Structure 1
Amino acid sequence: MTSDAKNANDYLNSLPEDRKLYIEKFRNSIQKNLPKGFEEGMSYGMLSYHVPHSIYPNGYHCKPTDPLPFIALASQKNSINFYHMGIYANKELYDWFVSEFPKHSNRKLDMGKSCMRFKNFDAIPYDLIGELVSKISVEEWITTYESAFLKNKK
């Protein structure tokens, strides 16, 4: 389920009431912990947090007119999905998160490469998500991104 919303407030206002509270709480956890320099916006029909062109003019290698993505949050049909590109690109961060998750949730971690799916909204580990969000600065993300995703482009 992608959204046609042009900004975060429109996105939130378009959500069904039973989802809005959880997405707002998730968003607050991200915003409270997001390092300076990342910006909130909409991308691919989801709330996104990215490195703006003013900091990283090259943009996203798949679509350079888009800013460099870092995190996305979406209300899907059966879950709330949280995408964190740092986990996909940094095995140490991935390993840390996977080992910490059981300490913060009694649910099994449902995760793909960068996507975490939360089907039980009351079991979302907001504090852990906040800690994860805080672990990579803009500068670290750019370095990680370039080494992980652009190594074959050079």
Structure 2
Amino acid sequence: MQSKATSPEAYISELPEERKEAFTRLRQTILNNLPKGFEETMSYGMISYVVPHSLYPDGYHCDPKQPLPFISIASQKNYIALYHYGLYTNPKLHDWFVTEYPKHSKYKLDMGKSCVRFKKPDAIPFNLLEKLLKKITPQQWIELYESQMKT
């Protein structure tokens, strides 16, 4: 469900009331814990956190006009989604997250390649996400991206 919102605030204003509080807290958790250098933007109809062209002029290989994506959050039909491309490209980070998740949530992990789905907005493990967000700097993401994804 892509939004046409042009700012994170506009995106959040479009959300159903029952998701606004958790989604706002998720956004703030990202802003408070993501290493310096990432920028918040709207991308592909989601709130995204990217490596800006000023740090990585090559941009995203799929569309070099776009900055290098790292994390996106979205309100989908049946869940809130966190797309973390480090989980997709870094097996050690993925395994750490999968191992830690049950320690922070009573619910089963619902995860795709880079997508973590939260069907219950009040069950987002914010403490775990704080730890996850601090694990990769923009420079580390660029190095990982270039070694794993860029073709």
Q: TM-score range by the shorter chain?
A: over 0.9
The residue that corresponds to 1:140 in the other structure is 140
User: In 2, distance between residues paired with 1:57 and 1:16?
Assistant: 37
Q: CA RMSD of the aligned region, Å? A: 0.7
Q: Give the counterpart letter for 2:88 in structure 1.
A: Y
Q: Which runs of 4+ in 1 moved over 4 A?
A: none
How many matched pairs? Answer: 151
Q: Which aligned pairs between 1:107-118 and structure 2 lie closer than 5 A? A: 107-118=107-118
Query: Would you say 1:88 and 2:88 are equivalent positions?
Result: yes
Deviation of the 1:19 alpha carbon:
1.1
Question: Which whole-Å deviations, capped at 9, do the CAs of 1:26-63 have from their partners, x for residues lacking one?
Answer: 01111110100000011111100000001101000011
Instruction: Give the aligned partner of residue 40 of structure 1.
Output: 40
Q: Deviations along 1:74-121, whole A, 9 cap, x unmatched?
A: 001100000000000000000000000000001000000000011011
* Counterpart-to-counterpart distance in 2, 1:115 and 1:71: 10
Q: What's the CA shift for 1:147?
A: 0.2
Partner of 2:77: 77
Q: Which residue of 1 aligns with 2:24?
A: 24
Identity within the alignment, %: 58
| Residue matched to 1:14 | 14
Distance 1:17 1:102 in 2: 28
**Residue type of the partner of 1:106?**
K
Structure 2 stretches lacking a partner, 5+ long: none
**Structure 2 counterpart of 1:97:** 97
Moved more, 14-23 or 43-52: 14-23
Aligned to 1:55: 55
Tell me the distance in 2 between the aligned counterparts of 1:10 and 1:57: 28
Which structure 1 segments of 5+ residues have no match? Answer: none
